[in-house]
Amino acid sequence: MSYTLSPIGYVRSCFKEKFAIPRQPLLAPAAQGCIELLPPYDQADAIAGLEEVSHIWVIFLFHKTLENTPRLKVRPPRLGGNKSIGVFASRATHRPNGIGQSAVRLERAEAGRLWISGIDLLDGTPVLDIKPYVPYADSVPTAHNAIADSAPTRVQVGWQMIALQHAEQHAQRLEQPLVDLIEQCLAQDPRPAYQQPAPERIYGVRFYDVQVRWHYLTLTHIEVLEVSPA
């Protein structure tokens, strides 16, 4: 039996590519986005009361990793990319029906637009549903997960002076916390776990309309080299 689901909106996000997006929401509070709702959900009635809520669940499609063949096991990056576990024991992007869920901070709500932060969502992500976060029901103090028992370890993020100056200029132009976003996302150590990054290896990613480039001075110390128009 198949069912047809239609997006109720799309995410406009600071993240223009999958690389260097935090693995879960709220790991980078400076990651900002906006859900643009589609008719008829762009009317004020659909969000009446949402102003009473601090966080929302965004149920969405991993639209860039949809696949037809069922995948029973996955290799999550946090296990080094070489240990496989069952897809239902993971929050992997390759999963049945490609459905994701993220609890994000609701910054502001107006008819047709929800401003959110602490996101882990790629620009253009189709949104299937939005629900208010219910602390007494959604956070289980006694819960445990031995596979993902803590937030990923963070690395130190330093700057070459010229890169920091350019980042501050672009932050002002964009009116967005770009410096914090870069520091919070790179602190998540976004390189593939199996890679031993030599200093000459340059990494890059696009946030908003700027290209950010960095390298590793050591395994636990990133240096941002360049922030330039993409």
| Residues at the contact surface with ligand SAM, assessed by CB under 6 A | 18, 21, 23-25, 62-65, 91, 93, 100-102, 120-122, 125
Cβ 192 to ligand SAM shortest distance, Å:
12
**Angle, alpha carbons 72-75-76 (nearest 5°):** 115
Cβ 126 to ligand SAM shortest distance, Å:
7
In order of 4, 19, 201, the CA distances from 187 in angstroms are 39, 13, 17
| 53 contacts 103 by C-beta, under 8 angstroms | no
Specify the residue, 32 or 93, whose C-beta has the smaller distance to ligand SAM: 93
Cβ 179 to ligand SAM shortest distance, Å:
21
| 186 contacts 157 by C-beta, under 8 angstroms | yes
Q: Which of 102, 105, 110 is nearest to 129 (CA)?
A: 102
Cβ 65 to ligand SAM shortest distance, Å:
4
| Cα distance between residue 203 and residue 191, in whole Å | 8
Cβ 102 to ligand SAM shortest distance, Å:
4
Specify the residue, 145 or 161, whose C-beta has the smaller distance to ligand SAM: 145
Six-digit token pair at 98?
Answer: 């490609």
Specify the residue, 31 or 178, whose C-beta has the smaller distance to ligand SAM: 31
In order of 9, 126, 137, 147, 176, the CA distances from 84 in angstroms are 33, 28, 30, 11, 38
Six-digit token pair at 99?
Answer: 């459905």
Specify the residue, 87 or 164, whose C-beta has the smaller distance to ligand SAM: 87
Cβ 190 to ligand SAM shortest distance, Å:
9
Specify the residue, 121 or 167, whose C-beta has the smaller distance to ligand SAM: 121
Q: Which of 186, 136, 227 is nearest to 30 (CA)?
A: 186
Specify the residue, 25 or 159, whose C-beta has the smaller distance to ligand SAM: 25
